[in-house]
Structure formats: structure tokens, C-alpha cells
């Protein structure tokens, strides 16, 4: 991040000079929460939803913070302006700060949005199924916290096997999500995604896709648990994420999804989401 500027504890700081305490609870224990956001046309997509979800996690885990919606909005704006970014991948990270102090850490960073391969969207991606399992028991399940190492390891396994992502199932064999994205199936014309209490992350793009389906009268279901049987029977599969948008899936392990090409309904949703992104991230919409 050399040459970039970050917003650390209320101040703009060159990234190479930004520092946190060696006793920061986020660094030592993973006691932190974060959200990753997309800035498009210089506007963060659904910033208010990101901040709401972030603060829900702070409250759930009882993390100490002095960050507020207002201070974080200010930080996001200052970081975008200072770096001159129009298209960016942004992240807010909050931690309680030093374990022996009372100064919480809040950090806002931004990086130029990487250009994802066009083949992902035109031809689709492949997935593996990780042997790791998702459990509803840990209090951090379904939330973005600093305890992300298992996700990183599963994603590394996927890359080593020539796939773009890894799917997670629960300990009782329900479909959950991928390492860093929500997953959707299309079954007999109905768009389905695992319920939040699976548990899965309440993704911002997940919400947007469900809204688009309801607006366009596309049957959808986010309440019914899904199994490996539904996954294998799906006519179409796609992933959603803040920076990667909507990505069609054409292969899971050795199983070909549908006819091995991005499906019609997936393409319709991809197009609708791209338009929604442009509409909500126009300067006139601010």
C-alpha cells in the first residue's frame, strides 16, 4: 500500500507510516470486525447497510469502539478523496485496541479495484467443496471478524486445485456459502440462497439480488435450508460479493452445472445488478 493514504483513528496517515499497538486485541486475538465495500463512480454502494451490519457485529461481540456512523462516513470520504480513487475496494476494520488500554482502533483503507478476469463472467467459474465445516455454535458464525484464517486456507486449497472458490457446508450437511461470497442456486426457475440462520453472512449484494428478484417477479426463497442434493440438481449456480458482483458457476468439483454455461436467469440478474450499481452509485443519487 506504499504511497496510499489511510484513515486511522480519525486522521489521514500515509499507509507506510500507519501503526497499531503490538498489544492490539485485533492483532493478538482476532478480536476485530470488518466490512469490505465497493466504491463505484466515487460512491460506496450501500454504505449505510455496511455500517449497520458492522455495528451489529460490534454490539453482538461487545467490542469496544468509539467509531460512529458519522466518523466512519467521514473516513470513507476522506480516504477516497485523498487517494483520488473512483473505482476502489474499501475496508473498514474496528478493534478494541490495546488489551491494556482504552483506545479503540478504527481503520479505513482503499485500494484500486482489481480488474477481475472477463472469463469469470462470460464463461463462468469453478468451485470445490472444502472439507472444513461451518457451525452455528461459535458466536462469530455468520459475521465478519478477524478470525478468517480457515477461509483463507480453504480459498488457498481451491486455488491449488484450479478453482476460484470453495463451498462450505455445515456440520449437518446444509449448504452455507463460499469462503468470501454468498451462494445462490436456481432450481426449476426459482432463485434460492441459504437462510441467514444457517448461519451465513448477510451479504450486501445478497440482499440486493433478493430485492431485484422480488422487484422483477422472479420467484426466490431465502428461508429454506439447502442440501448437496439441491446443489447437484440446480440448473444454475452463482456467487455474490461486494467487489466481485455476481459470478456464474459452471462446475463444482467434477459436477457440471446445467449445460456448463452461465444460465439465462443468472445473466438476467447480472445485468439487473450492474444497472442497480450504476443507478445507486451515480453522483446524482448522493
pLDDT tens by residue, 23-58: 999 999 999 999 999 999 999 999 999 999 999 999
With a threshold of 0.75, does the pTM exceed it? yes
Mean pLDDT of the chain: 95
Strand boundaries in the chain, DSSP class E? 5-8, 11-14, 33-40, 43-44, 88-95, 105-112, 125-134, 165-170, 175-178, 182-187, 190-192, 220-221, 236-241, 245-252, 255-256
Return the minimum-mean-pLDDT range out of 74-83, 135-144, 277-286: 277-286
Cβ-based neighbours of 209, under 8 Å, separated by 6 or more: 184, 191, 193, 240, 246, 269, 273
Contact (Cβ atoms closer than 8 angstroms) between residue 167 and residue 157? no
Could you tell me the domains of the chain? 5-112 (3.30.470.10), 118-280 (3.20.10.10)
Cβ-based neighbours of 260, under 8 Å, separated by 6 or more: 124, 250, 251
pLDDT tens by residue, 216-227: 999 999 999 999
* pLDDT(285) > 60: no
* pLDDT reported for residue 138: 82
Amino acid at each position: 500500500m506504499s504511497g496510499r493514504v489511510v484513515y486511522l483513528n480519525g486522521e489521514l496517515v500515509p499507509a507506510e507510516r500507519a501503526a497499531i499497538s503490538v498489544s492490539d486485541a485485533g492483532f493478538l486475538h482476532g478480536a476485530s470486525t470488518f466490512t469490505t465495500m465497493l466504491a463505484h463512480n466515487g460512491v460506496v454502494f450501500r454504505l449505510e447497510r455496511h455500517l449497520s451490519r458492522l455495528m451489529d457485529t460490534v454490539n453482538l461481540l461487545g467490542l469496544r469502539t468509539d467509531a460512529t456512523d458519522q466518523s466512519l462516513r467521514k473516513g470513507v470520504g476522506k480516504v477516497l478523496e485523498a487517494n483520488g480513487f473512483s473505482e476502489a475496494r474499501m475496508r473498514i476494520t474496528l478493534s478494541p485496541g490495546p488489551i491494556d488500554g482504552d483506545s479503540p482502533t478504527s481503520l479505513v483503507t482503499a485500494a484500486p479495484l482489481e480488474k477481475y478476469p472477463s472469463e469469470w463472467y462470460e464463461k463462468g467459474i469453478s468451485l470445490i467443496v472444502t472439507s472444513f465445516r461451518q457451525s452455528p455454535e461459535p458466536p462469530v458464525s455468520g459475521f465478519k471478524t478477524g478470525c478468517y484464517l480457515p477461509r483463507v486456507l480453504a480459498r488457498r486449497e481451491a486455488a491449488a486445485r484450479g478453482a476460484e472458490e470453495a463451498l462450505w457446508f455445515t456440520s449437518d450437511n446444509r449448504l452455507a456459502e463460499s469462503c468470501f461470497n454468498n451462494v445462490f442456486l436456481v432450481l426449476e426457475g426459482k432463485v434460492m440462497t441459504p437462510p441467514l440462520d444457517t448461519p451465513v453472512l448477510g451479504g450486501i449484494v445478497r440482499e440486493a439480488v433478493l430485492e431485484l428478484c422480488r422487484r422483477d417477479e422472479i420467484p426466490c426463497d431465502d428461508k429454506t435450508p439447502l442440501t448437496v442434493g439441491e446443489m447437484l440438481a440446480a440448473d444454475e449456480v452463482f456467487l455474490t460479493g461486494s467487489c466481485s458482483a455476481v459470478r456464474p458457476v459452471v462446475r463444482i468439483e467434477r459436477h457440471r452445472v446445467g449445460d456448463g454455461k452461465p444460465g439465462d436467469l443468472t445473466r438476467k440478474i447480472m445485468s439487473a445488478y450492474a444497472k442497480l450499481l450504476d443507478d445507486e452509485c451515480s453522483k446524482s443519487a448522493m
